[in-house]
Amino acid sequence: MVPAALASACAPYGRIQPPDHYVTLQQGIATYYDADGSGACLFGPSPKDLMVAAMNADEYGNSTACGAYIRVTGPKGAVIVRIADLCPECRAGHLDLSREAFGLIADMAQGRVPITWQVLSPDLAGPIAYHFKNGSNQWWTAVQVRNHRNPVARLEYLTTDGHWQSVPRTAYNYFVQTRPAMGPGPYTFRVTDIFGSVLVDHSVLHRESGTVDGAGQFPPP
């Protein structure tokens, strides 16, 4: 990873009211599937971390749920999972867990069990990071925010004339800018989490198919 050249600043930013499922204990059901860490969020396989899950379609939020950490409690115990995928046929409250995660909260033979779950803000090692998609360039710039302790609400970049331009978010968990073009970089990015906290990173270099570290991490809400 390539570090951003200058430090991030963290401060509250405006008023954001996160949906209830991000701040309150939820009731629902859990099922399981053959997860490898890849999926709709396009994080790629994570064979060393299979504590992952797919979020239901009602609460996926055009990929806002991607990367969120959730504590899931079932009949046999609790587990913390990271949202890496979308369950298109699942409705509100439903989490589709990896086999490995499901086995920690219920007997596999049950297949479908009642659960409670809640979004967490865990301590993470290191800062947030910016991953540039394969094919990303100065005219079609696709940026994914990774290693964030809180779900991400928006990404903006500072234009050459000094204003913040919001970058549209896709359902496949990339922020993609086309018109006006973002340019070749380096960039100044401003990332806001769902609780209104902000990180600003300067001198972020463009690395197609590469990841560039920021310099800070979101605080707990």
Domains of the chain, CATH where assigned:
2-15+124-213 (2.60.40.760), 20-120 (2.40.40.10)
Select from 2, 4, 28 the least CA-distant residue to 187.
4
pLDDT at residue 134, rounded to an integer: 98
Low-confidence ranges of the chain (pLDDT < 50): 5
| pLDDT for 14 | 55
Give the three-class secondary structure for 103. Answer: helix
CA distance 203 to 152: 20
pTM for the model: 0.93
Determine the pLDDT at residue 19: 86
> What b/e string do you get for 195-220 counting C-beta neighbours within 10 Å, with b at 16 or more?
bbbbbbbbebbbeeeeebbbbbbbee
pLDDT value for 16:
72
